[in-house]
């Protein structure tokens, strides 16, 4: 899983022509998280999508925020007036609350001051205080020192690091602090809500100007309940049928992204949504595909 994640994170964007491969290194990385299935590689497409709207959306909602790659891009690049991030996972939520509502500077300083050794990480992660900023710090620490950035139960601390570079292989305190401060500076453009993304979709479904970017937890075969779903996220189970019917009632535009799997095609077809397969190349030059789903995908070049 960690391997898959790494190849996603370092993916190269392949626009329709096979020899026009855009390096995702050209997409600014803004999230404090590294995220299994993070959507950095999709950013150029999301820009196309948001710019294709008749007018700039008043509100972009990311109901399954995770590392919020798309919400951050929209806010920084002013592709939407305001961004609403929603996340169910209490640990991930603590990070967004601390940065956007509580004390981003405390978190940045805490990261800069931490001496990253195996002992210090173990000692820190054994702490049980439940204050939101403390939980946020432990979450960032786990995300940077656990295999594949996986926060779900069962994830484990890296021993030799990724690419054999030791525990510090994904710990970039100065970069993390800079990203946190940059987000905090524009925090007026965000609202964060801890809770169920599908509920929020329903709450905003009558608002014409609310636009949704949907990247739900999904493992091939789980949309119709055939498989249990692997544990990339603590909250990895979702009723995809329920999500699709919620999307059918939404008045604003939306873009969903899923693995290219038969059960997802089936769901999209049944709800009369359009699908487009887009491809990317990872660093090993393996071609990977991702399924975009929307009411109308005419903007996809």
Residues that bind ligand SAM (CB under 6 A): 35, 37-39, 63-64, 66-69, 86-89, 92, 196-198, 215, 217, 233, 235, 238
Closer by beta carbon to ligand SAM, 95 or else 121: 95
Least CB distance to ligand SAM at residue 19 (A): 27
Least CB distance to ligand SAM at residue 123 (A): 26
Q: Which of 91, 141, 90 is nearest to 113 (CA)?
A: 141
Least CB distance to ligand SAM at residue 5 (A): 11
Residue 299 burial (C-beta neighbours within 10 Å; 0-12, 13-18, 19+): middle
Rounded Cα distance, 70 and 144, in Å: 20
Least CB distance to ligand SAM at residue 63 (A): 6
Do residues 37 and 5 touch, judged by C-beta distance below 8 A?
yes
Least CB distance to ligand SAM at residue 208 (A): 23
Closer by beta carbon to ligand SAM, 216 or else 252: 216
Q: Which residues pair with 146 in a beta bridge?
A: 157
Q: Which two tokens stand for residue 145?
A: 């020192």
Do residues 8 and 38 touch, judged by C-beta distance below 8 A?
yes
Closer by beta carbon to ligand SAM, 55 or else 92: 92
- Tell me the DSSP string of 73-116: HHHHTTSSSEEEEEE--HHHHHHHHHHHTS-HHHHHHHHHH---
Closer by beta carbon to ligand SAM, 23 or else 117: 23
Least CB distance to ligand SAM at residue 18 (A): 25
**62 backbone dihedrals φ, ψ, rounded to 5°:** -115, 95
Closer by beta carbon to ligand SAM, 91 or else 105: 91
Do residues 215 and 257 touch, judged by C-beta distance below 8 A?
yes
Residues 6+ apart with CB under 8 A from 291: 257, 258, 259, 260, 261, 264, 265, 268, 275, 276, 277, 278
Closer by beta carbon to ligand SAM, 65 or else 167: 65
Least CB distance to ligand SAM at residue 222 (A): 12
Q: Which residues pair with 84 in a beta bridge?
A: 61, 191
Closer by beta carbon to ligand SAM, 229 or else 252: 229
Specify the 3-state DSSP secondary structure of 254. strand
Rounded Cα distance, 16 and 229, in Å: 31
Least CB distance to ligand SAM at residue 58 (A): 21
Least CB distance to ligand SAM at residue 278 (A): 15
Closer by beta carbon to ligand SAM, 235 or else 265: 235
Closer by beta carbon to ligand SAM, 90 or else 186: 90
- In which residue are the tokens 């019917």 written? 245
């Amino acid at each position: 899983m960690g391997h898959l994640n790494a190849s996603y994170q370092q993916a190269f964007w392949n626009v329709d022509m096979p020899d026009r491969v855009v390096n995702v290194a050209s997409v600014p990385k803004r999230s404090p998280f590294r995220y299994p299935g993070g959507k950095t590689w999709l950013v150029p497409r999301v820009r196309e999508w948001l710019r294709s709207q008749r007018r700039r959306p008043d509100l972009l909602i990311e109901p399954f925020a995770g590392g919020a790659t798309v919400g951050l891009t929209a806010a920084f690049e002013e592709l939407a007036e305001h961004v609403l991030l929603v996340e169910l996972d209490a640990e991930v939520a603590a990070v967004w609350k601390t940065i956007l509502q509580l004390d981003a500077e405390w978190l940045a300083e805490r990261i800069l001051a931490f001496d990253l050794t195996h002992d210090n990480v173990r000692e820190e992660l054994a702490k049980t205080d439940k204050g939101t900023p403390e939980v946020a710090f432990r979450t960032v620490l786990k995300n940077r020192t656990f295999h594949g950035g996986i926060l779900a139960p069962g994830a484990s601390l890296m021993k030799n690091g990724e690419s054999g570079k030791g525990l510090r292989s994904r710990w970039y305190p100065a970069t993390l602090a800079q990203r946190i401060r940059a987000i905090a500076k524009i925090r007026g453009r965000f609202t964060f809500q801890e809770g169920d993304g599908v509920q929020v979709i329903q709450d905003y479904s009558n608002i014409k100007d609310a636009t949704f970017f949907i990247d739900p937890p999904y493992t091939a075969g789980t949309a119709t309940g055939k498989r249990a779903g692997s544990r990339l996220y603590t909250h990895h189970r979702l009723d995809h049928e329920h999500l699709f019917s919620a999307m059918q009632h939404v008045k604003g535009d939306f873009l969903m992204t899923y693995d290219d799997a038969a059960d997802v095609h089936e769901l999209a077809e049944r709800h009369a949504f359009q699908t487009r397969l887009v491809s990317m190349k990872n660093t090993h030059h393996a071609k990977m595909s991702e399924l975009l789903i929307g009411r109308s995908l005419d903007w996809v070049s």
